[in-house]
Chain A
Amino acid sequence: MAKITNQKAWLLVLPVFALVAFSAVIPLMTVVNYSVQDTFGNNSFFWNGVGWYHELLDPSTELGGRFFASLWRNLAFSAIVLAIEIPLGIVVALAMPREGWGVAFSLVVLALPLLIPWNVVGTIWQIFGRSDIGLMGWTLNRLGFDYNYVANPIDAWLTIIVMDVWHWSSLVALLCYAGLKSIPEAYYQAASIDGASRWAVFAAIQLPKMRHVLVIAALLRFMDSFMIYTEPFVVTGGGPGNSTTFLSIELVKLALGQFDLGKAAAMSIVYMLIIIIVCWVFFTVMTNAGQDRQSGTSGPAGSEP
């Protein structure tokens, strides 16, 4: 029988193409367009080639200096947040009940922070941390800690990190819990027959079985924390000084504060490429980590210390 060819089928995918073009491709091309031009207002543009990129990637220039400073801040923030939230999420997931009414209860409690709009989260912590009326800020000061996130960069960082941990550890915990629930009962029975300790059960069964959800959790948390804008903007506005000015805040300052469209566009493109590359490398490394190397692996059986 001859294969049926019907070119009308293309009409079915056309809406998707159109939507994606308008929502993603065309705006992205506009940004690419801006990033190679300079403007002095009046809607008049001048060709600048890769000039902005040169400036951006050279830390000795004003633009490059700001870019790298906020980039390091952002990487440090993501690293700290991941280092806290991933282990914390695992611990919370392990501590959660497996059956009974406690399951629904803890799921609801964990989901609550995730349901709160981001700027509300920012506002909550902005007020919570205030030393005059905020519960946490006031209490800390009464206890003798000189805590003031408006004036002290370390306090500002602590506040933002604790806020992010409060906001997002639930996501990691929920993903890990899903991973734990998918482990068949037989594994635990076999482990108890094999005389495995609690730690051995975790290391030999639970952690390996959670690896896939942990990759997803780490990717999501990296991307989100690397793109963080709303919460620190509401709490600290990037201050004190520039101490909590992350890439996204810097970008908004450039584009909407100074109207340097060319510089801002160049920074957007580099920002996006960094996220894509980091995620790709991370994903590739994590998914290949468990591969069996057919030859040249460790020596005789049971020789592992």
Chain B
Amino acid sequence: MARIDLIDLAHAYGGPDADPSTFALKPTSMTWRQGGAYALLGPSGCGKTTLLNIISGIVRPSRGKVLFDGRDVMALTTQQRNIAQVFQFPVIYDTMTVGENLAFPLKNRGLPRAQIEARVAEIARLLDLGPVLARKANRLSADAKQKISLGRGLVRADVAAVLFDEPLTVIDPGMKWELRSKLKVLHRALDLTMIYVTHDQTEALTFADTVVVMHEGSVVQTGTPEELFVRPAHTFVGYFIGSPGMNVLPAKVQGRQARVAGHALKLVRSYGELPAGARIEIGIRPEFVRIAAPAPDLLTAEVERIDDLGRTRFARVRVGDLRLAAQVPNGQAVTEGAAGLMFDPAQIHVYADSRRVEGAA
């Protein structure tokens, strides 16, 4: 169990002298508190697995330090760091039974047999693996195998943190939900620091207390799922989180007014001094855009189609060359063709060069 500090960590697979723009992980400092459930969220190739492998010691960073409870662990091997890691594909030892798989890390550390058996039985109970303990591990389903991988990490009593590298990739959708809830339960029961890497926002938002969104090697926002949804700090967060993602529209912003496609929108905050020369955009989530009949004071748009997602419907609309999504409340009938758009002013964010600008009240 440990607090993990990352201090000015950066990594380039081309070596420390590589061009900074090619860094797989751009300089990052961060603290993961003991007992937290974190998700590292981002698309493939954003550096999240690199970051995870640096923490576990599989990858040596080009620069920077990792501290466990304030202790520099850079010189320590993966094994000495006492990390548990669950990989994308279940890693099990084919020739062993489930029980032997779970006992393997303890046997390697030379623990007495009685202690091993007690610990294996306890972990097996937590993971519901008790009934299959005596079976050969390679005959089990993918989700059971992934539980074994996890169990091998948890079986060590003093494990510093559990790292998950897209652990549900090969799991059936139905089982995904169950395993995810299991992880939540384990997290609460064992009070372990857990770091969960995924590109699936549902997995990240349901698992984690704190979500770290990564984009092109940098951390663009760290926050609770709600913060990420309500106040995306970066247009990428707005786009990546939420389905459909946030509408991002090029705009001219002056004081309390934004002009989009020639139409003036009111803002609740004042944006006096925006960086000169920056690319200014406004962002608003589809959930805060409403469709109405065309009217002179509304942004004129054309409804192209309605996506019915079952629980909700989203209208895909076009304003000139811009494309937007807008949620259609239940009971409202919307037809294709001309319409007017209403924006909830409190939910409009202003971005300068993709980064959110905090307005003045």
Residues in chain A within 8 A of chain B (CB atoms):
184, 186-187, 189-190, 192-197, 200, 204-205, 208-209, 290, 292, 294, 297-304
The CA-CA distance from A186 to B90 in the complex, in Å, is 9
B58's partner among A189, A292, A300, A303 (CB-CB below 8 A) is: A189
Given A189-B87, A301-B100, A302-B117, is A194 in contact with B95 using a C-beta cutoff of 8 Å?
no
Contact with A along B62-94 (1 / 0, CB 8 A): 000000000000000111000111011101011
B99's partner among A193, A194, A292, A300 (CB-CB below 8 A) is: A300
Given A292-B139, A301-B97, A303-B117, is A193 in contact with B102 using a C-beta cutoff of 8 Å?
no
Q: How far is the CB of B78 from chain A (nearest CB, A)?
A: 5
- Minimal Cβ-Cβ distance residue in B for A194: B105
B108:A189 contact, CB within 8 angstroms: no
Count residues of B near A (Cβ-Cβ below 8 Å): 43
A300:B91 contact, CB within 8 angstroms: no
The verdict on B263 contacting chain A, using a C-beta distance below 8 Å, is no
Q: How far is the CB of B71 from chain A (nearest CB, A)?
A: 19
A192:B108 contact, CB within 8 angstroms: no
Q: How far is the CB of A290 from chain B (nearest CB, A)?
A: 7
The verdict on B120 contacting chain A, using a C-beta distance below 8 Å, is yes
A197:B108 contact, CB within 8 angstroms: yes
Chain B residues with CB under 8 A of A208: 93-95
The CA-CA distance from A299 to B121 in the complex, in Å, is 13
Q: How far is the CB of A73 from chain B (nearest CB, A)?
A: 36
The verdict on B188 contacting chain A, using a C-beta distance below 8 Å, is no
Chain B residues with CB under 8 A of A184: 89, 91
Chain B residues with CB under 8 A of A301: 97-100, 102-103, 117, 120-121, 124, 133-134
Could you list 28 examples of A-B contacts with CB < 8 Å? A186-B88, A189-B78, A190-B85, A193-B56, A193-B83, A193-B84, A193-B105, A194-B105, A195-B79, A195-B105, A195-B109, A204-B93, A204-B96, A205-B93, A208-B94, A290-B95, A290-B138, A297-B135, A298-B97, A298-B134, A300-B99, A300-B133, A301-B97, A301-B102, A301-B117, A302-B107, A302-B116, A303-B117
Chain B residues with CB under 8 A of A196: 104, 108
